[in-house]
Amino acid sequence: MASLIKAGDKHAFREFYNLYATKIFSFSRSYLKSKSEAEELVQVVFVKLWEGRNEIKEYLSIRSYLYKITVNHIYNILKRRHFQVDQTDADPFSEKHDNTTLDQIYYSNLKESIDNLIEQLPEQRKIIFKLSRFEGLSHEQIATKLQLSVRTVESQVYKAIKFLKENLKNDFL
């Protein structure tokens, strides 16, 4: 669907909108606590997606891109609110609460992006990377388990990390 939207296919975009508009609304409303702001945010997000469709990276999840746009707009709204509140008033969006919420949003978005990128790795590299990072096995243990040389394991982990850094650098790092 990403390639169709990137190519300007309005029908594909409409289908994508119908599939995700309600989800974006619910997600936004849970953070903004305002129906009208969430409704407006949905429109702004999809307009931005359509206008920036040429920047869509087809090898990444368009859903992740959509949520990234959403999170950025939520962040901007919350930041605006924070600066508008008089410091003498009780701030329902205190800095501690605001940062915790935003950290959770960014963590969730980053985790989803990393998971998508890991799935794009060549099969052997993906297996080695998961054994190293998710199961905590040493390079020696992985080499023994997969009957590979330690140098091969080291090389594959290095290449996986390099791939992740290169693809996350512009969005998160």
Q: What is the CATH number of the domain that holds 150?
A: 1.10.10.10
Overall average pLDDT of the 38-67 stretch: 83
Do 99 and 16 share a structural domain? yes
Q: What percent of the chain has pLDDT over 90?
A: 20
3-7, 19-23, 65-69, 76-80, range with greatest mean pLDDT: 19-23
Position 96 pLDDT exceeds 50: no
Same structural domain, 114 and 40: yes
Domain range for residue 153?
121-173
Judgement on whether residues 109 and 155 belong to the same structural domain of the protein: no
Is the whole model's pTM more than 0.75, yes or no?
A: no
CATH code of 48's domain:
1.10.1740.10
Number of structural domains in the chain: 2
Same domain for 149 and 83: no
Mean pLDDT of 113-126: 89
Q: How many CB atoms lie within 10 A of CB 122?
A: 12
Asked whether residue 98 falls in the same domain as residue 154, the answer is no
**pLDDT beyond 50 at 50:** yes
**Mean pLDDT, all residues of the chain:** 80
The DSSP line for 83-140 is: HHS-TTS--TT-HHHHHHHHHHHHHHHHHHHHHHHHHHS-HHHHHHHHHHHTS---HH
Q: Do both 151 and 170 map to the same domain?
A: yes
pLDDT of residue 99: 53
- Is the pLDDT higher at 122 or at 102? 122
Same domain, 18 and 98: yes
